């Protein structure tokens, strides 16, 4: 196994709760500071600064719009080792299927007819694709926006019977950027202004048993969400009370907003970049994984090294409800094969993560500080033929799935492991 080293340094910041505790501000004294763990920097991931948009300058292998026109399944979610769902753009339609034998056989899931027709039009015109979430293995949700309407489809685990919930958004031309659902049909969604006139956001809390929607603000008395100057943001709730928004400002600074009362009030703080990335700007942050007092998320930073534009990947972690954040410059993720959103890692929990690097599965069990590769002849021989990593999901430290796509977008391959990635079975892609 190959390990990437790590260096310990002094702490940077901290205030607020980034997990499921009570938010509070903390004055951190030097003697109580948590370590910031930074790995050595090497110039391996390069790109042209002029060709990059600040909020999208991440090494994604293919754009979602191309994927959904490829007639392949581009994403999946397994709620157990046997039961799973996959979705994609098939023959111009958004389609879903379900398996109950671990991916060996799949059956179509029928969406409401009127909804399917509307989605077909959006796929052809390049409108935002729907967001799919499976909550607690019991409920399937498909979420879309159209003009001033936010539509949520809800079904049980079989996908046979759907309920349609429609909500009126605060204004038009809003695009769904991030959504977080918890059990009981309750969720939060961040909408970005898609008109091109600004970068304002709307944050809403919605319930499906009534149904109703409530506009929320991270800054009191703000006219929108209160994420001033934000270029990209993601929201995550771990229960109906505790939530976390991670947002990037136009100046490249990373901010977080924490709540312990369901979004009624929020506590804001600025997350200082690791010392080695002081002059870098943050360009992308990915959804946190949260459980009780622990939380982890990944952010991408853009800067220059030896005259080249480089992307560095940082893993932020808290294990005390946000009283301290640890940051790790994870070199192993800089040139990992990202999914179509540029996300290089799947988190099983706040400690264990999985990525594809150098045609091997790379694993961490300490929140990104150290990574080790798992040799596997099946994976190593499959990746040259299917180099696009569309999705990774692990259900435990031994059971996991990887969805790969061919270079010409025409075929996919679903692999399943039950021994932590050493051996893989080929399922139906």
| 409 occurs within a structural domain | no
Q: Is the pLDDT of residue 53 over 50?
A: no
pLDDT in tens, 8-38: 322 222 233 334 443 333 323 323 333 333 3
Burial of 136 from C-beta contacts in 10 A (0-12 / 13-18 / 19+): exposed
| 26 occurs within a structural domain | yes
| 137 occurs within a structural domain | yes
65 SS3 class:
helix
Q: In the prediction, which pLDDT does 116 show? A: 64
| 356 occurs within a structural domain | no
Q: In the prediction, which pLDDT does 67 show? A: 82
Give the torsion sign (CA, 210, 215, 322, 369).
positive
Quote the tokens at residue 350.
């706040």
Average pLDDT, the chain: 81
333 SS3 class:
helix
pLDDT in tens, 269-326: 999 999 999 999 999 999 999 888 889 999 999 999 888 999 999 999 988 766 678 9
H or E element that contains 378: helix 377-382
pLDDT in tens, 192-229: 988 766 678 999 999 988 789 999 999 988 989 999 88
Q: In the prediction, which pLDDT does 118 show? A: 63
| CATH number of the domain within which 108 lies | 2.130.10
Q: In the prediction, which pLDDT does 51 show? A: 28
| 213 occurs within a structural domain | yes
| 400 occurs within a structural domain | no
Distance CA 25, CA 139 (A): 36
The domain tally of the chain equals 1
Q: Is the pLDDT of residue 385 over 70?
A: yes
Q: In the prediction, which pLDDT does 323 show? A: 66
Distance CA 350, CA 366 (A): 8
The one-character DSSP state at 350 is S
| 375 occurs within a structural domain | no
Give Cβ neighbours of residue 224 (< 8 Å, ≥ 6 apart). Answer: 170, 200, 201, 202, 217
Distance CA 399, CA 411 (A): 24
**Which residue is it, tokens 């989605």?**
119
Domain that holds residue 313: 7-334
The torsion angles phi and psi of 390, rounded to 5 degrees, stand at -80, -35
| 350 occurs within a structural domain | no
Rounded to two decimals, the pTM is 0.82
Give Cβ neighbours of residue 251 (< 8 Å, ≥ 6 apart). Answer: 229, 281
Distance CA 133, CA 143 (A): 8
Burial of 384 from C-beta contacts in 10 A (0-12 / 13-18 / 19+): exposed
**Pairing relationship of beta strands 36-38 and 326-329 according to DSSP bridges:** parallel
Distance CA 406, CA 400 (A): 20
pLDDT in tens, 108-147: 999 886 666 666 656 555 556 789 999 988 899 999 888 8
Contact (CB, 8 A) for 70 and 123? no
Nearest one of 28, 22, 39 to 325, comparing CA atoms: 28
């Amino acid at each position: 196994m190959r390990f990437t080293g790590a260096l310990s340094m002094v702490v940077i910041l901290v205030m607020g709760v980034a997990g499921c505790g009570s938010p509070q501000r903390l004055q951190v004294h030097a003697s109580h500071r948590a370590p910031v763990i930074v790995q050595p920097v090497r110039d391996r991931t390069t790109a042209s600064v002029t060709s990059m948009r600040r909020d999208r300058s991440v090494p994604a292998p293919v754009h979602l719009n191309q994927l959904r026109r490829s007639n392949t399944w581009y994403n999946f979610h397994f709620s157990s080792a046997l039961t799973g769902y996959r979705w994609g753009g098939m023959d111009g339609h958004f389609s879903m299927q379900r398996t109950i034998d671990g991916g060996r056989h799949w059956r179509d899931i029928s969406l409401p007819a009127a909804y399917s027709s509307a989605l077909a039009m959006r796929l052809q015109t390049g409108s935002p694709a729907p967001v799919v979430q499976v909550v607690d293995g019991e409920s399937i949700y498909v979420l879309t926006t159209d003009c001033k309407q936010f539509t949520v489809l809800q079904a049980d685990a079989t996908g046979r019977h759907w309920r349609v919930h429609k909500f009126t958004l605060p204004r038009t031309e809003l695009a769904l950027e991030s959504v977080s659902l918890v059990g009981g049909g309750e969720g939060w969604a961040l909408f970005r202004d898609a008109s091109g006139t600004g970068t304002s956001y709307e944050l809403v809390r919605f319930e499906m048993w009534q149904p109703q929607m409530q506009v929320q603000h991270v800054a009191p008395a703000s006219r929108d969400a209160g994420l001033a100057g934000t270029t990209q943001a993601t929201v995550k709730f771990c229960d109906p009370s505790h939530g976390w928004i991670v947002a990037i400002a136009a100046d490249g600074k990373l901010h977080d907003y924490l709540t312990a009362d369901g979004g009624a009030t929020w506590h804001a703080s600025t997350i200082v970049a690791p010392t080695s990335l002081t002059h870098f700007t943050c360009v992308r942050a990915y959804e946190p994984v949260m459980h009780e007092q622990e939380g982890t998320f990944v952010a991408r930073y853009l800067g220059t090294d030896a005259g080249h534009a480089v992307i560095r990947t940082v893993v932020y972690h808290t294990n005390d409800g946000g009283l301290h954040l640890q940051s790790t410059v994870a070199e192993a993720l800089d040139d990992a094969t990202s999914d179509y959103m540029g996300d290089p890692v799947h988190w099983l929990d706040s400690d264990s993560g999985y990525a594809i690097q150098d045609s091997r599965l790379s694993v961490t069990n300490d929140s990104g500080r150290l990574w080790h590769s798992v040799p596997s002849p099946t994976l190593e021989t499959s990746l040259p033929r299917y180099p696009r990593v569309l999705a990774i999901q692990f259900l435990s430290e031994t059971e996991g799935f990887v969805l790969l796509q061919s270079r010409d977008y025409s075929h996919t391959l679903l692999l399943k492991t039950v021994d932590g990635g050493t051996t893989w079975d080929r399922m139906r892609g």
